[in-house]
Amino acid sequence: MSLPARSAVAVTLLCLAACGSGGGGTQGSLTISPQTASATIGGPAVTLTASLSGSSNPIAWTLSGPGSIAPAQGSSTQYTPPPFGGTPATATVTASAGSGLSASVTVSVAVPASIDVHGMAIGSDTTPVAGVSVTIGTQSATTDAGGRFTISGVTVPYDLTAVATSPASPTSSRKTGVVYQGLTRRDPTILMVGMARLPRRATLTGNVTGANPVGVAGDVTRLIIGSPQIPFWLVNDVETNVTSNPYTLHPSWVGQDTTTGTIHVLQWQQDGGLPVSYSGYASVPGITLSADAGTVASDAVLSAPPASTIAGTIQLAPSLTRFSQLVAIVFPGAVPTFLGSDTPTASFAYPFPNVAGATATLVASAGDTGSSSYSSAQLTGIAPGTTNVLVSLPPAPKPVAPVDHTTGVGSTTDFTWTPMNGTVYEFLVINPSALYVTFTSATTARIPDLSAQGLELSGKSSWDVNAYGPVGSVDELAGVALAHLLGTDSYFGGTTAPRDFTNP
């Protein structure tokens, strides 16, 4: 064989080795650096770099396991470990470039030996609560004017106790003790259940014109004002049915002395409590309210909005009997305003106004057969015209022990209840002088002994359990204000039948 022929053979062999043959080989190579990696829960991100040769295809990144990656395209990505967690884990990051080219690296995710906890205590109105005594292990701190506290060198998982010996609200003398069990996150938001500031109030008045005259029989003309400072539980103070002109509303809000919001007015005709058509809508932005600063006047002129239909199905667990079904409209920046209730049926269809930015919220509740426990669900963000809405109600949690009217109950008594999948529990003990709250992922709890912090349990009390979902851990519940979850998010849950007991 001549030299040129030998060279041609060598080149061919090199191409087969490097480029693959028609028998299913791959072109090029792909590697990731570093080949092994480690991270810590709540710690910094790890940078991973892919090296590709023999191909110009784009590189895509995928993740299997806890944490997150970003970006998902390009020659490198960053793996960020989960912000909280109580057990070691592994995550697999894979780079792919098509044509069978891929490489993976396993990231070992460790639990930190200790963490510094920087948290916040808020009330049921979501505003900060100062002066709360927070204890983790043997360390304690007191929340500042912004509701914040810091406790260093905490071993995870940890239990946190927060106690407020000042009155829960301006209208209550009850003290509050809250326990979060099994936390691992560095930034918990602690909800001091039942604590709230005295709301700010103002007076709003004006005339509603256009569409049908207000006060026509069979019409509902509803006015509502929304602002960032109005929580969902103040709905009765921020809306009114206008039956004559001028209307008067005394809106309430929390936080600062001044708030700015938008008025929404909707007019509909109803039959049997539900809307059948819509004759008018108006919005008036830029309404500024100041506490105790006199009356604000604002008129609204209605015009007919287009309408569509919202329809779907409610599914019940076999142990439930439906007793409540409500539909609400949520205007931008406002709390839900309920349009009416339906005779409970498996299928439903509601006419709904096509108002800019407005969505529907559906709320369903069902009682457990033979008990006072119930299951509930709220589905939010439903766009007008949606006809495949599905709401499922799982079995309600039920109390197990102690039985009703048990005597001699104390801090060593085990309270138990049946589980509700996908939820975290709020165990409540209500006494004339104190409220005890325990957030836990278990289906058993005890009354915390908070006598050293000024909370005493004596005489007759009641207990029940609320289940909140979809929530996978107490850490998740401590990352979002519960009031926000119930007010604006989709959720499901349940409440056990209440029981009484007596403490000696």
pLDDT tens track for 314-331? 999 999 987 888 899 999
Closest by CA to 122, choosing from 32, 227, 193, is 193
Q: pLDDT for 168-226, tens place per residue?
A: 555 567 789 999 999 999 999 999 988 887 788 899 999 999 999 999 988 999 999 99
Q: What is the mean pLDDT of the chain?
A: 88
**15-24 as b/e, with b when 16 or more CB fall inside 10 Å?**
eeeeebeeee
Widest CA span of the chain, in angstroms? 108
Report helix, strand or coil for 126.
coil
Residue 4, phi then psi, degrees to nearest 5: -60, -40
Domain 28-110 has CATH 1.20.59.10: no
Distances (CA, A) of 451 to 123, 164, 206, 447: 22, 12, 53, 11
Domains 28-110 and 199-305 share a fold: yes
> Which residues, 6+ apart, have CB-to-CB distance to 435 below 8 Å?
168, 174, 175, 176, 177, 193, 194, 428, 429
Residue 476 parent element (H or E): helix 474-477
Count helices and strands (H / E) in the chain. 3, 42
Contact at 8 Å (CB) between 324 and 363? Answer: yes
Backbone angles phi, psi at 415, to 5 degrees: -100, 130
Q: What is the structure's pLDDT at 233?
A: 67
Placement of tokens 């708030």 in the chain: 259
Tell me the two tokens of residue 22.
Answer: 């028609």
Residue 112 scores a pLDDT above 70: yes
* pLDDT for the residue 488: 66
1, pLDDT greater than 50:
no
Q: What is the assigned CATH class of domain 199-305?
A: mainly beta
250 touches 205 (CB < 8 A): no
pLDDT digits (tens, 9 = 90+) for 226-284: 988 877 667 778 999 999 999 999 998 887 889 999 999 999 998 878 899 999 999 99
Confidence of residue 445 (pLDDT cuts 50, 70, 90): very high
Answer whether 435's CB lies under 8 Å from 177's CB: yes
Kindly list the domain boundaries of the chain, sorted by start residue.
Answer: 28-110, 113-185+397-504, 199-305, 306-373
Higher pLDDT, 487 or 351: 351
Tens digit of each residue's pLDDT (9 = 90 or more) over 15-61? 323 333 333 344 689 999 999 999 999 999 999 999 999 899 999 99
| Residue 43: closest CA among 88, 120, 119, 110 | 110
Q: In residues, how long is the chain?
A: 504
Residue 343's pLDDT is 79
At 115, give phi and psi (nearest 5°): -135, 160
Strand partners, 163: 133, 177
Q: What are the residues whose beta carbons fall under 8 Å from the beta carbon of 177, sequence distance 6 or more? A: 161, 162, 163, 164, 434, 435, 436, 437, 448, 450, 453, 455
| Residue that has been written with the tokens 């299997």 in this structure | 64
